[in-house]
Chain A
Amino acid sequence: MSLVRLVSRTKLYWGLIAIFLIGVLSSPVTSSGKNIFLSSGNLLDVLRQVSTTGLIATGMTAVILTAGIDLSVGSLMAICSVVCAMLLTVPGETPAVFLGLPSVSAASLLIGAVIVRFAFLNIEKVRAGKDSIRDIHLDSMRGLVLPAVAGILLCALVLSYLLPQVQTKFGVLGVLLVAPAVGLVFGAINGMIIVFGRLQPFIVTLAMMVTALGIARLTAGQNNAVLPVYTGSNATADFDILRQLVFGVVPMPGIFFIVAIILYGAVLRFTPFGRYVYAIGGNEEAARLSGINAGRVKIVTYAVSGLLAGLAAVLYVAQYRQGKPDAGAGLELDAIAAVVIGGTSLMGGRGGLAGTFCGVLIFGLLSNILQLHNINSNLQLVLKGLIIIGTVLVQERSTGDLFSRLWHSRHQPEVKGSAAEERSSPETVSLTMGGKKE
């Protein structure tokens, strides 16, 4: 029994171990007989390559744990990458700063204003006597609305007035503060619309995905679709630190990813906030009735998701020396896939960051193996899809379970009317009936 429990508790890692073994066994070797896959340089390359998706999947995990979803992260990363590239580009080459940032601020202002209206109107309804649990809950939110809106205003102001100076005065630190702050603001807007507007996270973040893409393009300016960060300017030289190897081995983006996983993992595991996240994902109404301020918790998870997208954008720009409005395109799907491979349920309440870490690595190792084998790009896509399905199958059910199902579907018809069949789940019954017809 204890062995079964051990297997089921660690089944998360089976996929990772399997992929890793495949990598080691099949790796090409250098002329001197060294295993290329296992060389530290290659594995650290993988860590660097996954760090962008990884940061985004980290934020996404908490959102999914609350039974939500964040489709806007790719676009948020795009906005942040554009802002970041602007900060790093030589002054005089970015007239778009003056077009884009006011538009960002204006959008935040407008959305903030609408949110305030919604929130206060709902509170008035409560006063008028329509006091369902939800409305009373919204009343308790009053304390949150004004600070949040003030925060949006403040960020917008900081952006439009301080940004041109940041690039010369604050350097890398300034960029590392500003770009994630932009992400945080947009993430918080997502959360507030979901909570105060009582809308589906899917719809809200889908809308934000489109809106943010537009803002990113506006900010970049139509003729500057890609903002190259020119090598040689002072700002980019300082920026080298973000793509260097720490202690000469570990790539900096990887450090950011691992630290984010550990910090957020600890928060989710050991703090009341973390427990609320799981509680809300399990049963939101129950969580609310037991006194958890569900709205506030949800807003924080979306804000952190945006923040991490912003951080990912900074690292992206540092690595590839460019910011562009389609920087994170499709990344939200990669991140969601990594979270799901890592065993977090899309229904919320079950899973965690350790799994996401595995999921992200499985993804990264997979691409790396296919690339090392120099497999044709189109074939890579097919193989990736198949292997993802395979990995999830192995992880979702423990391997033993999978075999017992196969066994049941073949042999169950023999034991007609036995107690075993009466107790079996509807799913098994349908399987056995399928067997009977054969």
Chain B
Amino acid sequence: MKRRELMLAAFAAVLTATTALMPANDAAAQDKKWRIGFSQATTIEPWRAQFNKDIIAEAAKHPDVELIITDGEDKTEKQVADVENLIRQEVDALLISPKESAGLTGVVQQAIDAKIPVFVLDRNVETDQYTQFVGGDNKLIGRAAGEYAVEVLGGKGKAQGNVVEIWGGMGTQPAHDRHDGFHEFTDKEPGIKNLLDQQSGDWKQDQAYNIMATALRNNEKIDLVYGHNDPMAYGAYLAAKDAGREKEIKFIGIDALPAEGVMWVNNGELTATFLYATPGAEGLRQAIKFLNGEKVEKTITLDTLMVTKDNAAQIMKDNGL
């Protein structure tokens, strides 16, 4: 008897503590004109965190918009539930950045059937009845990186060097696009030799470190490392640094987050990185445009930007670093 009471009391204490920790919902938000729901796939990756930062910053510029952000926690079933929930809340527009295409197509269709305009961000779904797609083009970015690599290795037609490429996840489209774009340029150069056969660092700094440590052991001459994202390029840099060979190698990454890639380029650790812009700000702008009765294009492709020592400091300054 006593035991049950105590357990109840403990349970109640936990509940109270949890509720107290949760941010209070702003009651003033009720009278805003547009309620826009945004279903994010996950927030645990830095790029996704930047994505959320961008969209929140953009929403702050529009006083007539209430933005509801949900976190799919990197699970398809959670994200589907999130979107169902937003549909039930009858949001005026739905922004979604799907974790994966197939699993989320159904629920996106459901939103379309419920007459909610849907803006698909970053990764696509398997239907074209949505209002708009906004995203970066990984192939385009890979091409920019490949063109730059050829340039630093000696220029078109004369490029020479051994290249280590560290893949992101092997099963993900971005990794394949970043690979294909890069090789459109480097494969034309007979002087460029690829040292590794599809080694995946799974987008992670620590795994890339270990791949690079072995590659350094296996190869006496490495000229350039191409990481499918900045943390992997940086992990490879750290491995080379620990082996005392970082000076002879050029490191190229992708993503250009202000607190990661751009900072590493600014420190002289990476040679260059290429912006994979988050569609957060642009997506929200487009949605508001559409809600206000303007026409929007079916697809918007975000451009990339090459970040080198020349512009890194300015970008960091612009982002308050």
Q: Chain A: residues with CB nearer than 8 A to chain B?
A: 28, 30-31, 36, 39, 41-42, 45, 49, 103, 106, 110, 113-114, 117, 121, 217, 222-226, 228, 230-232, 243, 316, 319-322, 325-327, 368, 371-372, 374-378
A377 — nearest CB in chain B belongs to which residue? Answer: B200
Q: Which residues from A are CB-within-8-Å of B46?
A: 225-226
8 pairs from A and B in contact (CB 8 Å cutoff): A39-B217, A45-B213, A45-B217, A49-B213, A225-B46, A226-B231, A374-B195, A378-B200
- Give B297 Cβ to nearest chain A Cβ, in Å: 31
Q: Which residues from A are CB-within-8-Å of B220?
A: 30-31
Q: Which residues from A are CB-within-8-Å of B2?
A: 121
The stretch of B124-132, B202-210, B285-293 that contacts the partner chain: B202-210
Please state if A36 and B217 are interface contacts (CB–CB under 8 Å): yes
Please state if A217 and B170 are interface contacts (CB–CB under 8 Å): no
Q: Which residues from B are CB-within-8-Å of A217?
A: 44
**B211 at the A/B interface (Cβ < 8 Å)?**
yes
**B199 at the A/B interface (Cβ < 8 Å)?**
yes
- Give A231 Cβ to nearest chain B Cβ, in Å: 7
- Report Cα–Cα, A111/B205, bound state, in Å: 34
- Residues of chain B from 28 to 52 with CB closer than 8 A to chain A in the complex: 43-46, 49, 52
Please state if B49 and A223 are interface contacts (CB–CB under 8 Å): yes
- Residue of B49, B213, B235 near A225 (CB, 8 A) is B49
- Report Cα–Cα, A47/B53, bound state, in Å: 41
B202 — nearest CB in chain A belongs to which residue? Answer: A377
**B198 at the A/B interface (Cβ < 8 Å)?**
yes
- Report Cα–Cα, A41/B214, bound state, in Å: 10
Known: A103-B21, A372-B214. 4 other contacts (CB 8 A): A222-B43, A228-B260, A231-B267, A377-B167
Please state if A231 and B217 are interface contacts (CB–CB under 8 Å): no
A121 — nearest CB in chain B belongs to which residue? Answer: B3
Q: Which residues from B are CB-within-8-Å of A121?
A: 2-3, 6
Please state if A326 and B214 are interface contacts (CB–CB under 8 Å): no
A368 — nearest CB in chain B belongs to which residue? Answer: B214
**B14 at the A/B interface (Cβ < 8 Å)?**
yes
Q: Chain B: residues with CB nearer than 8 A to chain A?
A: 2-3, 6-7, 10, 13-14, 17, 21, 43-46, 49, 52-53, 167, 170, 195-200, 205-206, 209-211, 213-214, 217-218, 220, 231, 235, 238, 242, 259-260, 263, 267, 269
Using A222-B43, A376-B197 as known contacts, say yes or no to A36 and B218 having CB atoms under 8 A apart.
Answer: yes
Q: Which residues from B are CB-within-8-Å of A322?
A: 205-206, 231
- Give A199 Cβ to nearest chain B Cβ, in Å: 14
Consensus secondary structure, chain B interface: helix
- Report Cα–Cα, A230/B3, bound state, in Å: 50
Please state if B217 and A113 are interface contacts (CB–CB under 8 Å): no
- Residue of A117, A230, A375 near B10 (CB, 8 A) is A117
Q: Which residues from A are CB-within-8-Å of B195?
A: 374
Please state if A374 and B205 are interface contacts (CB–CB under 8 Å): no
Q: Which residues from A are CB-within-8-Å of B263?
A: 230
Please state if B238 and A321 are interface contacts (CB–CB under 8 Å): yes
Please state if B260 and A320 are interface contacts (CB–CB under 8 Å): no
Please state if B44 and A326 are interface contacts (CB–CB under 8 Å): yes
- Report Cα–Cα, A322/B260, bound state, in Å: 12
Q: Which residues from B are CB-within-8-Å of A368?
A: 214
Please state if B213 and A113 are interface contacts (CB–CB under 8 Å): no
Q: Which residues from B are CB-within-8-Å of A376?
A: 197-199
- Top 7 closest A-B pairs, CB basis? A377-B200, A320-B206, A371-B214, A223-B49, A376-B198, A225-B44, A121-B3
- Report Cα–Cα, A232/B196, bound state, in Å: 31
Q: Which residues from B are CB-within-8-Å of A378?
A: 170, 198, 200
- Report Cα–Cα, A326/B53, bound state, in Å: 21
- Report Cα–Cα, A261/B235, bound state, in Å: 29
Please state if A114 and B218 are interface contacts (CB–CB under 8 Å): no
Using A121-B3, A377-B200, A378-B170 as known contacts, say yes or no to A114 and B43 having CB atoms under 8 A apart.
Answer: no
Please state if A316 and B198 are interface contacts (CB–CB under 8 Å): no
B50 — nearest CB in chain A belongs to which residue? Answer: A223
Q: Which residues from A are CB-within-8-Å of B6?
A: 117, 121
- Report Cα–Cα, A420/B45, bound state, in Å: 63
- Report Cα–Cα, A327/B44, bound state, in Å: 12
- Report Cα–Cα, A330/B252, bound state, in Å: 29
- Give A131 Cβ to nearest chain B Cβ, in Å: 17
- Report Cα–Cα, A103/B22, bound state, in Å: 13
Please state if A232 and B267 are interface contacts (CB–CB under 8 Å): yes
Please state if A106 and B218 are interface contacts (CB–CB under 8 Å): no
Using A121-B2, A217-B44, A222-B43 as known contacts, say yes or no to A377 and B198 having CB atoms under 8 A apart.
Answer: yes
Please state if B43 and A225 are interface contacts (CB–CB under 8 Å): yes
- Report Cα–Cα, A437/B219, bound state, in Å: 57
- Report Cα–Cα, A5/B206, bound state, in Å: 43
Please state if A114 and B199 are interface contacts (CB–CB under 8 Å): no
- Report Cα–Cα, A224/B49, bound state, in Å: 8
- Residue of A28, A320, A371, A375 near B205 (CB, 8 A) is A320
Q: Which residues from A are CB-within-8-Å of B238?
A: 320-321
Please state if A375 and B217 are interface contacts (CB–CB under 8 Å): no
A325 — nearest CB in chain B belongs to which residue? Answer: B44
Please state if B170 and A377 are interface contacts (CB–CB under 8 Å): yes
Q: Which residues from B are CB-within-8-Å of A226?
A: 46, 205, 231
Please state if B10 and A114 are interface contacts (CB–CB under 8 Å): yes
Q: Which residues from A are CB-within-8-Å of B3?
A: 117, 121
Please state if B10 and A113 are interface contacts (CB–CB under 8 Å): yes
B13 — nearest CB in chain A belongs to which residue? Answer: A110
- Report Cα–Cα, A190/B281, bound state, in Å: 44
Please state if B269 and A41 are interface contacts (CB–CB under 8 Å): no
- Interface hub of B21, B217, B269 (most chain A Cβ within 10 A): B217
- Give B260 Cβ to nearest chain A Cβ, in Å: 7
